[in-house]
Structure 1
Amino acid sequence: MPRLARRATLSTCAALTVASLALAGCSLAGKEKNPQGTGTEAASTDAPVAGSTVTLVTHGDFALPDELLAKFESETGLELEVRKVEDGLPNQLALTKDHPLGDVAFGVDNGSAAFDLQEGVFADYQADLPEGASKFLLKGADDKDMLTPVDHGAVCVNVDLTWFEEKGLQPPSTLEDLTLPKYKDLLVVPGATGSTTGLLFMLATMDQYDEEWTDYWSRLVANGADITKDWSDAYYGGFTAGKSGGTRPMVVSYDTSPAFTVDEKTGESTTAALLDTCIQQVEYAGVLANAENPAGARELVDFLVSPEVQAALPDSMYMFPVATGTPLPEQWARHAHQPSRVYTFNADELADQRQEWLAEWRNVTTR
């Protein structure tokens, strides 16, 4: 099974690992753009300087094809450098906002974007959005026009269909089902303080249970839910379908995950996402305030919503493109089913109360 994307973690004491790639190559069909995007006035309307470097700061799972990045360089005349923050991207961006690590950030998601907006991390620029992308703008954030949505997916509970079939047990369907005695000790969950996957799952339970959300978590823990540091530990360490000897047939993962657990003999996926348990995740790109190359940064943000990049996202970063009509791989069309309804939250409210909510979650789950 291909490696699934692991979301950036949230630790405020995150260790920063920076890896740089210099990429070169051929040509990308250009387009005429409004230099100020669809937001308010951009920091500068100067054209990018040929031969100058534009630096992308992103999470460790950024993996667009080299030939595609080389086309960006050839078309724009810019040299692209990719710096990967392996842990705690949103916090590192906030800590370095006065002297940013690069010119553009990609990979801040709807669980942390409002926090970075409040911290003044981003400059005022938004790319011309492709058809369908506007519905992924940050909900509830006053400065949502400073970020450009690039990809999306949904955090959902996944189940190992093979395990349930062998045990003669019907899989659960809803969040409430997870607390039933027959599913005791079967669930593994990435922690809300250690990953955006876990944080978004916590927010889904808050939307479902409102003021009683901590009671729900008490019941979930009492039913034997195993809480791990991050998504990778949960999926590859605890999940029975994670191929690492896990013992739990239910895990909080993504709606795209079943596309990567297809049995070669039958052509069917051995896992499924429970589509009544999902909350949307959207990843954004933004020009960093105090960027050394703001003109090049705007070119790079535009590039990330180009048709070529949007088409490459499923195979390279395991997320859905935001542009309507983008073709999907065959396995996605068959097995990566999207929920018709997702849980929601207000981004600004999360930014204001995240620490309080996480403290409540930690108190309940560590009793």
Structure 2
Amino acid sequence: MIVSPIDKVLVVFLILFTCFSGCISEDPEQDKLVILTYDVSALSGSMISNFENNTGLEVQIIKVDDAGSILSYLIQNKGTDTVDLAIGLDNTYISTAMQLDLLEPVEVDKSHISGYNSSMEMQALSPYDGNLAIPFDMGFICLNYDSSIVDGLNFSHPTSLWNLTEPEWKGKVAFPSPITSSPGRGFMLATLDYFDWRNGTDSFGNWWNAMRANDVIVTSGWSESYETHYTGGYGEYTEGYIGDAHITVSYCHSPGVESWYNGNWTKSSSLDIDKASFFQVEYASAIKGGNSQFAEKFIEYLISPEVNSQMPFENLMYSVIKGENLPEENGYRFNSVIPSNPANISYLDIGKNIETWLELWNEAMIKSE
């Protein structure tokens, strides 16, 4: 058969068109990265825009209330491609996510993250150093107190957790719930180590029950506890402030944050009681069923020195980069305590026992005197 030049052109055009159309995504979602997180301040508009401009990916963010809500969302959507990346699960939740097979491994360079051989007091890779969860920020959870009131005259300085069960502290302590709050969960875990859970949990339950009898204020999350009830922080300038608690659970560097915002002044301080603080690491994880390559790109960006070094400013947490610290400006570092003897509970122990411990806590909080 003889083919005319025009027919040849048409055939070539059709071949090229077919190939080209097959290479172009008909799915507009193909170049979209879906991130599940709570209200992580570090994920600012400019930070997201820079990533989008550098990679050509569009970022969609699904926001939930807290780390517990992230885990619940992942469980409810397991086996789907709803989420590519979760940011905000910490070492009190991450083992549960692993046990439920929710996470996908990633290959990223962690050599610049503080680890076992680091000289820093905080080692981001010490709770977990695998490839299912990559650290992006960290800090110690501990008790904060209002130093303008807890001054040794109006209120005595607690030197033991049992001090908080005494009459002077009746109704003056606010804790976020360990069921719904990651700082609350971290503090509950610290109390388990404080009361030596390996030799029994009776003292743990008795203390929490005594706190209940002493009218401890239990809130659903950190914000309500710190902003609404605590007298030592910025909450007095927020709507809905009550100010009925002089001690609460926050971070050991929260007084430093207060000082940084207030021009080197704060009335909030941290209590350094042995085994009453907990080292928290927050993670970024690729999710099974999602696009792990896109997730990996964002994780690499999130832990890059130029982005992660800004965590003390952007997310008010410690950077995980070796050699980084809190800034000295306005007393940020000076007013941030590093606990001398924090609690030590592994993520494996947490994963194995957390449901039992939460049940024990709940029983202690509802048990009558």
Q: What is the identity, as a one-letter code, of the residue corresponding to 1:230?
A: G
- Cα distance per residue 1:211-261 (max 9 Å; x no partner): 221122122223332222221221122212331231111111111211233
Q: Does 1:160 align with 2:146?
A: yes
Match of 2:57 in 1: 78
- Cα distance per residue 1:79-110 (max 9 Å; x no partner): 22222123511121122121143211110001
Q: What is the identity, as a one-letter code, of the residue corresponding to 1:121?
A: L
**Deviation of 1:266 (Å):** 7.7
What TM-score, normalized by structure 2, do the two folds share?
0.78
The 8 Å contact of residues 54 and 297 in structure 1, kept in 2 or not, is answered as yes
Match of 1:187 in 2: 173
SS at match of 1:81: strand
Inter-CA distance 304–133: structure 2 relative to 1 (3 Å threshold): farther
**Deviation of 1:158 (Å):** 0.4
Give the total of aligned pairs: 316
Match of 2:119 in 1: none
- Cα distance per residue 1:244-293 (max 9 Å; x no partner): 231111111111211233398883321011122311111001111111x3
The 8 Å contact of residues 113 and 124 in structure 2, kept in 1 or not, is answered as no
Q: What is the identity, as a one-letter code, of the residue corresponding to 1:249?
A: H
For 1:63 and 1:169, the matched residues in 2 are separated by: 37
% identical aligned pairs: 27
Q: Which runs of 4+ in 1 moved over 6 A?
A: 263-266
SS at match of 1:146: coil
Q: What is the identity, as a one-letter code, of the residue corresponding to 1:172?
A: P
The 8 Å contact of residues 99 and 290 in structure 1, kept in 2 or not, is answered as yes
Q: Does 1:104 align with 2:85?
A: yes
What TM-score, normalized by structure 1, do the two folds share?
0.79
Q: Does 1:171 align with 2:160?
A: no
Q: Does 1:136 align with 2:124?
A: yes
Q: What is the identity, as a one-letter code, of the residue corresponding to 1:128?
A: D
**Deviation of 1:357 (Å):** 1.6
Q: What is the identity, as a one-letter code, of the residue corresponding to 1:151?
A: D
Over aligned residue pairs, what C-alpha RMSD do you find? 2.6
For 1:65 and 1:161, the matched residues in 2 are separated by: 33
The 8 Å contact of residues 93 and 100 in structure 1, kept in 2 or not, is answered as no
Name structure 2 gaps, 5 residues minimum. 1-29, 117-122
- Cα distance per residue 1:24-70 (max 9 Å; x no partner): xxxxxxxxxxxxxxxxxxxxxxxxxxx82222211123443322322
Match of 2:271 in 1: 274
The 8 Å contact of residues 171 and 244 in structure 2, kept in 1 or not, is answered as no
Larger Rg: 2
SS at match of 1:314: helix
The 8 Å contact of residues 319 and 325 in structure 2, kept in 1 or not, is answered as no
Match of 1:316 in 2: 314
Name structure 1 gaps, 5 residues minimum. 1-50
The 8 Å contact of residues 113 and 125 in structure 2, kept in 1 or not, is answered as no
Match of 1:358 in 2: 358
5 Å matches for 1:150-299?
A: 150-165=136-151, 167-209=153-195, 210=197, 211=200, 212-241=203-232, 242-243=235-236, 244-262=241-259, 267-276=264-273, 277-291=276-290, 293-299=291-297
**Deviation of 1:349 (Å):** 2.8
Inter-CA distance 262–182: structure 2 relative to 1 (3 Å threshold): same
**Deviation of 1:325 (Å):** 2.0
For 2:41 and 2:107, the matched residues in 1 are separated by: 20
The 8 Å contact of residues 239 and 246 in structure 1, kept in 2 or not, is answered as yes
